């Protein structure tokens, strides 16, 4: 069951969240204190203001104070605070404060510095502008009622597996270089390993916060997700599937919301009694088929050319349904009347007056379908846009799953 998960714009640096997010670790503007004095006396208290920080995989932060003619001061902390207090700085000019933030088991990911003059007994606050050296990517995918249980994220040659957190699929990367273009690919699977969603995008992590739009495609139906920027210094990008996008029960309305995926027109044994049809729900809704029928054309009333679907029959989102003649024991619904021609025939799905799908299969050389006695014709889901072409179909049997061509 192939859907496409397409990232349409590009995001910012520090980290990702989906269920797709990108964080950038960068903070406040730079500044300096007041000057004067020479060495020998103790200065006051210096408070380094770093602003709000969001550093995934944070390890430690260090502060180094240095100047000509004074002993260097080094402070290391395991907590990431907005303010860091440094006491007993000798008075004097050109005191250099260097701040370094480490993450991912000791990798330097951000650094910043400021140079100020320190007066005796003065309490000052120094804003430090931090520059990001590396970023992190966190992708959160709100899964709703989808069947997604396995996921993989690829960034160039790096591979990351999805973890489940509170109903979301989450990818966390290690440290990534900023200002480097990377190829991002996402694959989401169900428990059987069928590919449900895919997406790809060239991205560059930078220190500029932006917003993104992500679209999920389920064959003909798409859900657009807006991603917003966090106001807290890092960019949190979230793509959240609204619950209303999944599980709404309604009647089919648009062409292609349902379509034929497997047709068995010429069984070896007992002829027509083993014919069957398979259809696929390409939407993210539960489709009510009570007012639908399968027929050779929209206006026919002949029993041998049509059958009505029963009351209260539904098809779940992104699932298959099988209609079989009398002898098809595992069909979701056994019908009478309609017979399938072995050489050429029109076939349609009609709901009320709406045509939801139509196909004309034939053995003619101009558009030959793989009609073979004892084999069904199958349409791989990825070929749904070209399903009118016989070359898009193949032979084989794969009831209730994507085509397995033989």
369 vs 388: CA distance, rounded Å: 10
Model pLDDT, residue 344: 93
Model pLDDT, residue 271: 65
Report yes or no: 83 and 36 within 8 Å, Cβ to Cβ.
Answer: no
Model confidence pTM above 0.75: no
Model pLDDT, residue 61: 92
Q: Does domain 46-129 have CATH number 2.60.40?
A: yes
Of 196, 185, 195, the closest CA to residue 139 belongs to 185
Cα separations in angstroms, 210 against 156, 282, 328:
22, 32, 55
Domain segments of the chain as ranges: 3-24+137-240, 46-129, 258-396
The tally of CA atoms less than 13 A away on the side-chain side of residue 122 is 17
Do 46-129 and 258-396 show the same overall fold?
yes
Report yes or no: 115 and 129 within 8 Å, Cβ to Cβ.
Answer: no
What's phi and psi for 250, nearest 5 deg? -155, 170
Query: pLDDT digits over 114-173, tens only?
Result: 898 888 777 888 888 777 777 777 776 767 667 788 989 888 888 999 998 777 778 887
Model pLDDT, residue 296: 93
Q: Which fold is adopted by the domain 258-396?
A: Immunoglobulin-like (2.60.40)
Burial 133-157 (b: 16+ CB within 10 A, else e): bbbbbbbbbbbbebbbbbbebebee
70 vs 382: CA distance, rounded Å: 70
Q: Which fold is adopted by the domain 3-24+137-240?
A: Immunoglobulin-like (2.60.40)
Model pLDDT, residue 43: 62
Query: pLDDT digits over 24-71, tens only?
Result: 333 333 333 333 334 445 566 888 877 766 677 788 999 999 999 888
Sites in the chain below the pLDDT cut of 70: 1-44, 52-54, 140, 142, 144-145, 205-247, 269-271
Cα separations in angstroms, 105 against 59, 99, 336:
6, 17, 68
């Amino acid at each position: 069951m192939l859907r496409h998960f397409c990232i349409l714009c590009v995001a910012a640096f520090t980290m990702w969240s989906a269920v797709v997010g990108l964080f950038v670790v960068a903070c406040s503007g730079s500044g300096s204190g007041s000057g004067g004095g020479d060495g020998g006396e103790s200065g006051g208290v210096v408070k380094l203001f770093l602003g709000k920080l969001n550093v995934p995989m944070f390890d430690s932060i260090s502060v180094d104070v240095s100047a000509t003619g004074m002993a260097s001061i080094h402070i290391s902390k395991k907590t990431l605070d907005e303010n860091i207090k440094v006491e007993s700085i000798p008075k004097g000019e050109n005191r250099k404060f260097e701040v370094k933030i480490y993450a991912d088991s000791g990798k330097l990911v951000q650094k910043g510095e400021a140079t100020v003059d320190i007066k005796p007994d003065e309490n000052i606050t120094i804003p430090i502008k931090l520059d990001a050296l590396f970023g992190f990517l966190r992708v959160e995918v709100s899964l709703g009622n989808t069947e997604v249980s396995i996921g993989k994220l690829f960034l160039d040659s790096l591979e990351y597996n999805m973890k489940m957190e509170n109903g979301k699929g989450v990818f966390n990367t290690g440290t990534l270089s900023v200002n480097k273009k990377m190829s991002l690919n996402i694959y989401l699977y169900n428990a059987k390993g069928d590919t449900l969603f895919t997406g790809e995008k060239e991205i560059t992590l930078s220190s500029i916060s932006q917003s993104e739009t992500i679209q999920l495609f389920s064959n003909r139906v798409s859900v657009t997700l807006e991603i917003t920027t966090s106001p807290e210094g890092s960019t949190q990008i979230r793509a959240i599937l609204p619950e209303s996008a999944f599980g709404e029960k309604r009647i089919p309305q648009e062409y292609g919301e349902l379509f034929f995926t497997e047709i068995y027109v010429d069984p070896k044994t007992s002829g027509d009694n083993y014919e069957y049809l398979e259809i696929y729900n390409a939407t993210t809704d539960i489709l009510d088929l009570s007012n639908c029928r399968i027929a050779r054309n929209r206006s026919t009333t002949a029993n041998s050319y049509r059958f009505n679907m029963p009351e209260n029959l539904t098809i779940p989102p992104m699932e298959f349904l099988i209609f079989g003649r009398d002898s098809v024991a595992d069909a979701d619904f056994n019908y009478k009347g309609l017979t399938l021609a072995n050489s050429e025939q029109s076939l349609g799905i009609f709901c009320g007056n709406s045509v939801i799908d139509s196909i004309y299969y034939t053995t003619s050389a101009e558009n030959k379908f793989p009609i073979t006695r004892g084999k069904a014709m199958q349409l791989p889901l990825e070929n749904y846009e070209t399903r009118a072409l016989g070359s898009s179909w193949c032979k084989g049997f794969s009831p209730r799953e994507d085509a397995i061509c033989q």
